[in-house]
A and B are shown apart, each in its own frame.
Chain A
Amino acid sequence: MERSGWDLGRDDVEHLLHEAAAMRGESLWQDALRRLRRNRAAWSSLLFLALVAAVSLFAPALPLPSPVTLDLQLEPQPPVAPWSVWGSHGFEPDYWDLTAVDGLLVKARLAVFGDWQTGHWLGTDGKGRDILSRIVWGSRTSILVALAATLCSLLIGVTYGALSGLLGGRVDNLMMRVVDVLYSIPFIFLVIFLITLVNEYRTELEDRFGIDREVVFFIVIGAVYWLTMARVVRGQVLSLRNTEFVDAARVIGASTARILFVHLVPNVLSIVIVYLTLTIPAVMLFEAFLTFLGLGIEPPKVSWGLLAVDGSEMVNPVRIYWWLVVFPAAAMASTLLALNVLGDGLRDALDPKLRGKD
């Protein structure tokens, strides 16, 4: 028996509704998550990064020696295995100015572990500071720099790219030409130049606006790294702007800003996330680069870049303090490696067409 679509009995309708309710749609994100979990390298990278993030977040609560207490010995102490020197007593909370949350974490640590601290499992540096502790504390600065700079580049890059793609025509042409031109400037020179200029006014900035050098540093790095993001987002938006849902929104009378942030940006989010995982390593390396030149993080604060610099400064022919070079480099390399692998995995997971390509 043949029936037209309109000729449905009550039972049929109920059956259909039931079926529809039982059906579970799979969003792009669920699909991507499933694919990511199947990619073993990317998934373990994600877990590793989560571990790194957790350790660096709860660093004040861990029973590590202070990263700044100086113990002026003659030379750096080599690593000792945990089973030979498990730990010692005599910890004193000695840090730079900590935030309130970190203060609470330090209190929690004192309550749980008392004055017990771990031994120098990864050795000490030339001033007797524990390398493990410095790596853990350094991860906080490095991750913070990376996140803040990435956020800056995200805000500028996504807005700029999306706007350029959405407006199209001559505006788009001009905006992209500006990006092309900026691409061709060796930015490091300008950044160094800017930071040295800003340094002249650092006390005023700090007193009047509460902007310290690190914030300037974040902003400057963010201002450099938005270009690629703008290009990528613009390409995506160009391909999206003539789709029905954008037309529909425009017909209803949505403003350009609303179309931009409510309709277009969520759709380019996947590719943005992929690019973020590739930008963060670049920013971390850039932090190391600037710190090496003496324009980045300053003691007593510590970052991975600073540790790498300290390590390479201790390279000398008389005695080879390998642990000063190897461990900070390993911490940095493993994190950046994980980010790269995760980025590749995310790209494969979010865009099946690109699978297997670099």
Chain B
Amino acid sequence: MTRFLLRRLMWFAITLWVVVTVSFFLMRAVRGGPFDNDRALHESIERNIKARYHLDWHPFKQYLHYIGPLNLDEQGPEFLGGDGTRPFGGVLTGDFGPSFKYRDFTVNDIIGQSLPISVSLGVIALLWALALGLTVGIASALWRGTRIDVGLRLVATAGIAVPNFTIAGFLVIGFVFVLPLFPVAGYGTWRHLVLPGFALGGPFAAYIARLTRTGMLEVLSQDYIRTAHAKGLPPRTVLLRHAIKGGVLPVVSYLGPATAGILTGSLVIERIFAIPGTGSHFVNSALNRDYTLAMGVTILYTVLVYSLNTAVDFAYTLLDPRIDLEES
């Protein structure tokens, strides 16, 4: 088990290093910096700005400074000529540097403000997806072949086939304008997150419903379910105590990709509902060439998705003792 985790960690470190290095130098190589304006800046102002963000250094020194763990500027360690007040810095110490566009903010400040919002939106979306998907999937497996089953499957497939901003459009028309139940956009109370959460979780609910249905059908045809029925257990108990545990296994392994998808989808949903989360910051930063912010968010989400995936694989072995991680 430890070996499995260590190996994963090693591969992950390599990936992350490649991603960071390649994008760092791509950003430096690309023409047009974050401070380009329609109006040319005065030479001295430009020099000041460049010095402020260390853009006047050799790119390799900038890179070392960005990665860390040693801080290379004037506050760095004494043996490198700094005054030693802040010897460490850079990505390795969790410091993503200053934002290029939001003056006076570090990337860490921006992420620290926006990430809790994105996380609560993601959690609500995931809860919606699980609640809806599991219910629909189990119902459709129990009534297999009936009209209910066909109808539910059709709705589920349609849910996969529509972009989430269109679902959001329908929701806004239905539950804001026709039936004024929820606020149209913004962030503040839980009511602001109901519709975005649903629009974000909808397609995943549909997918979870399909997975649950398949899993349940497979489990319901197993011998041990027949045995449970044969020894006279009430159908409710058979379903809740015996069938569900095995039936939802495929869903557990889907949770990793689903979480990644929900994080991604929140780029769009946060924009539609004007939610000040990390996703909307990312899109704006990419469009505004705020390279440090864009890279910081990319690194953060990569780490997040990777650790979630590993955690899900881990949980999977606990639920299904037949799977051995060392084997794979």
* In contact, A181 and B15 (Cβ under 8 angstroms): yes
Interface: B65 (CB within 8 A)? no
Of the candidates A190, A308, A317, A320, the one whose C-beta lies within 8 Å of that of B166 is: A308
What chain A residues lie within 8 Å of B134 (beta carbons)? none
Interface: A193 (CB within 8 A)? yes
Give CA–CA (A225, B92) in the complex, Å: 31
Give CA–CA (A304, B264) in the complex, Å: 20
* In contact, A337 and B161 (Cβ under 8 angstroms): yes
Interface: A51 (CB within 8 A)? no
Of the candidates A188, A335, A356, the one whose C-beta lies within 8 Å of that of B264 is: A188
Interface: A82 (CB within 8 A)? no
Which of A57-65, A194-202, A250-258, A267-275 is found at the contact surface with chain B?
A194-202
* In contact, A358 and B213 (Cβ under 8 angstroms): yes
A333 and B158 in contact (CB under 8 A), knowing A188-B267, A189-B298, A289-B268?
Answer: yes
* In contact, A293 and B162 (Cβ under 8 angstroms): no
* In contact, B157 and A337 (Cβ under 8 angstroms): yes
User: Residue of A at shortest CB range from B153?
Assistant: A358
* In contact, A317 and B176 (Cβ under 8 angstroms): yes
Interface: A294 (CB within 8 A)? yes
Interface: B263 (CB within 8 A)? yes
User: Residue of B at shortest CB range from A308?
Assistant: B166
* In contact, B268 and A196 (Cβ under 8 angstroms): no
* In contact, B301 and A186 (Cβ under 8 angstroms): yes
What chain B residues lie within 8 Å of A186 (beta carbons)? 260, 263-264, 298, 301-302, 305
B151-188 vs A, Cβ < 8 Å mask (1 yes, 0 no): 00000011011110110111011001110000010000
What chain A residues lie within 8 Å of B168 (beta carbons)? 312
In chain A, positions 171-188 with a C-beta closer than 8 Å to chain B are: 177, 180-182, 184-186, 188
Measured CB to CB, the closest approach of chain B to A323, in angstroms, equals: 12
Interface: B12 (CB within 8 A)? yes
User: Residue of A at shortest CB range from B288?
Assistant: A196
What chain B residues lie within 8 Å of A353 (beta carbons)? none
Interface: B5 (CB within 8 A)? no
In chain A, positions 95-136 with a C-beta closer than 8 Å to chain B are: none
* In contact, B31 and A329 (Cβ under 8 angstroms): no
Interface: A315 (CB within 8 A)? yes
B261-280 vs A, Cβ < 8 Å mask (1 yes, 0 no): 00110011001100000000
* In contact, B19 and A329 (Cβ under 8 angstroms): no
User: Residue of A at shortest CB range from B32?
Assistant: A200
* In contact, B264 and A184 (Cβ under 8 angstroms): no
* In contact, A325 and B170 (Cβ under 8 angstroms): yes
* In contact, B19 and A312 (Cβ under 8 angstroms): no
* In contact, B287 and A196 (Cβ under 8 angstroms): yes
What chain B residues lie within 8 Å of A292 (beta carbons)? 163, 165, 268, 271
In chain A, positions 249-308 with a C-beta closer than 8 Å to chain B are: 281, 285, 288-289, 292-294, 305, 308
What chain A residues lie within 8 Å of B272 (beta carbons)? 312
User: Residue of A at shortest CB range from B309?
Assistant: A184
User: Residue of A at shortest CB range from B31?
Assistant: A200
Of the candidates B32, B260, B298, the one whose C-beta lies within 8 Å of that of A190 is: B298
A184 and B12 in contact (CB under 8 A), knowing A325-B170, A336-B160?
Answer: yes
* In contact, B30 and A333 (Cβ under 8 angstroms): no
* In contact, A200 and B30 (Cβ under 8 angstroms): yes
A315 and B286 in contact (CB under 8 A), knowing A333-B161, A357-B214?
Answer: no
In chain B, positions 94-132 with a C-beta closer than 8 Å to chain A are: none
Interface: B23 (CB within 8 A)? yes
Interface: A311 (CB within 8 A)? yes
What chain B residues lie within 8 Å of A312 (beta carbons)? 165-166, 168-169, 272
Interface: A145 (CB within 8 A)? no
Interface: A309 (CB within 8 A)? yes
Interface: B26 (CB within 8 A)? yes
Interface: B210 (CB within 8 A)? yes
Of the candidates A180, A181, A358, the one whose C-beta lies within 8 Å of that of B211 is: A358
Interface: A341 (CB within 8 A)? yes
* In contact, A293 and B268 (Cβ under 8 angstroms): yes
Interface: A147 (CB within 8 A)? no
* In contact, A315 and B12 (Cβ under 8 angstroms): no
A320 and B173 in contact (CB under 8 A), knowing A186-B264, A196-B286, A341-B157?
Answer: yes
A332-352 vs B, Cβ < 8 Å mask (1 yes, 0 no): 110111001100000000000
What chain A residues lie within 8 Å of B163 (beta carbons)? 285, 288-289, 292, 305, 308, 332
Interface centre among A189, A197, A308, A340 (most CB of B within 10 A): A189
Interface: B282 (CB within 8 A)? yes
Interface: A29 (CB within 8 A)? no
Interface: B136 (CB within 8 A)? no
19 residue pairs of the A-B complex, CB under 8 angstroms, read A181-B11, A186-B305, A189-B264, A189-B301, A190-B23, A190-B298, A192-B286, A196-B286, A200-B32, A292-B271, A312-B168, A317-B177, A325-B169, A335-B161, A336-B160, A337-B158, A337-B161, A340-B161, A358-B213
Query: Which 5 A-B pairs have CB atoms at the shortest separation, nearest pair first?
Result: A336-B161, A312-B169, A358-B214, A288-B163, A189-B298
